Amino acid sequence: MDLATLTERIPNRKAKEIYELICRQTTVSKTELLEQSGMTVSTLTRLLDELTGQGLILESGFGASTGGRRPILYEKNPHYAYIFGLEISRTRSKLVLVDLEMNMKDARHWLMTADMTPDALIRQIAEEAEHMLAANGLDKSMMLGIGIGAVGPVDRLSGAILEPSYFPAQGWRNVEICRMLSERLGLPAMLDNGANTAILGESWAQRAKSFKHLLYVHAGIGIRSSMISEGKLIYGAVDMEGAVGQMIIQTDGIVHRDAGGNYGALESYASLYAIEKAARSALKQGRSTLLAHAIDDPEQLTYNHVLEALKKNDPLVVEILTEAATYFGIGLANLLNILHPEKVILGGPLIAGNELFFQTATQVAIRKTYYYPAYQVVFSKGQLGEEALAIGAAVMVMNQLVKQ
């Protein structure tokens, strides 16, 4: 399926501009659209009639009167079409069905086990997509497509997942995920790395607040980042999603777990892998900790064991997480000093459900930020939480409607 079919749904460039203005606001009057667009009354009236006739926008009542007739209010029609959003990560994958307001109609997730090869996952996604459509009374003609946010590196133009690390299953190399899903579903498919789709989702959720410069950092098995500036995703010459994890914190520091990784890289100090490694080492040393009662073999320890001990305020776990968060905060400070975003959204397993890590990291970052307090940055866990990657993938598809 061709993505051009999406961009051609609104063929008129000026109509795209008006539709985008309406999408950014809950409701908006014609007078407000005249001020925002700079168009003539006749042009705007014609475009609003076209968009209403297509079912893209709705008349949603009347605004407050300023002396004359009450103005008609317009809003986006959330039921004009629907979108699938797909997250493919190392630990889990998730499919969501949303309308154009990103209201979730259905969702399903899969654990990424050693059996979850590309073929196995795609087969289950296709089956579940058909089930979701039937369960929600939707026809494929009502679908815009499927957006995919995947662990990088990816080639978003060819729609392929390239050479991601640490997948439990074999076969996740050079996977033409867009072609494979498009053929199975009969829908257009788009791909970007998960950090980019997450920030797209969070930016959309906060569209009324008009942050021009947003930074997203995902902390989990590795560290991934993305940035939006002036409403546009920042792309490098290559997919740079995981590059922040290779930021050098200590030049003669810890050897990276990958042969090609940097010595003293940030993710060697602040990642699920680093925390599990530190906890296992402490157990082997015989350190006093609740972890010793939770597991017999230190090599079987996981981050979930660490979180359970944290809930009981285990001193060793607090120490390990505080140290990891401190290093993560140093990495954040480096990013702030280079990029100067207005807002930083933190996501991933290390942030979700771990207030100690979030608070420690952000406090360290603020203390080490140049120009502070003149330069103020807002830290957030975001509004979409664990749904950010999948919903952001759907936003990516929706954005094709206004692409020039």
Q: Is 153 left (phi over 0), alpha (psi -120 to 50) or beta?
A: beta
Strand 189-193 and strand 143-150: pairing? parallel
Q: Report d(CA 308, CA 324) in Å as an integer.
A: 17
pLDDT at 1: 55
- Domains 82-202+388-402 and 209-382 belong to one CATH topology: yes
The position carrying tokens 């369960």 is 135
Architecture of the 82-202+388-402 domain: 2-Layer Sandwich (3.30)
260 pLDDT exceeds 70? yes
349 pLDDT exceeds 70? yes
For the stretch 295-325, pLDDT in tens is: 888 888 989 899 888 999 999 999 999 999 9
pLDDT at 67: 57
141 pLDDT exceeds 80? yes
376 pLDDT exceeds 70? yes
**Residue boundaries of the structural domains of the chain:** 4-76, 82-202+388-402, 209-382
pLDDT at 82: 97
pLDDT at 69: 67
Average pLDDT, the chain: 89
pLDDT category at 60 given cuts 50, 70, 90 is confident
Q: Kindly compute the dihedral angle of the four CA atoms of residues 80, 84, 85, 86, in this order, to the nearest 10 degrees.
A: -170
Q: Pick the most confident of 2-16, 18-32, 100-114, 212-226.
A: 100-114
Beta strand ranges found along 206-267 (DSSP E): 213-219, 223-229, 232-233
pLDDT category at 68 given cuts 50, 70, 90 is low
Amino acid residing at 404: Q
pLDDT at 152: 81
pLDDT at 108: 96
Helix and strand tally (H, E) in the chain? 13, 15
CATH 3.30.420.40 fits 209-382, yes or no: yes
pLDDT at 256: 87
pLDDT at 136: 96
Q: Report d(CA 46, CA 33) in Å as an integer.
A: 13
pLDDT at 80: 94
Other Cβ atoms within 10 Å of 63 Cβ, number = 16
pLDDT at 24: 85
Q: Report d(CA 214, CA 231) in Å as an integer.
A: 9
In CATH terms, the fold of domain 4-76 is Arc Repressor Mutant, subunit A (1.10.10)
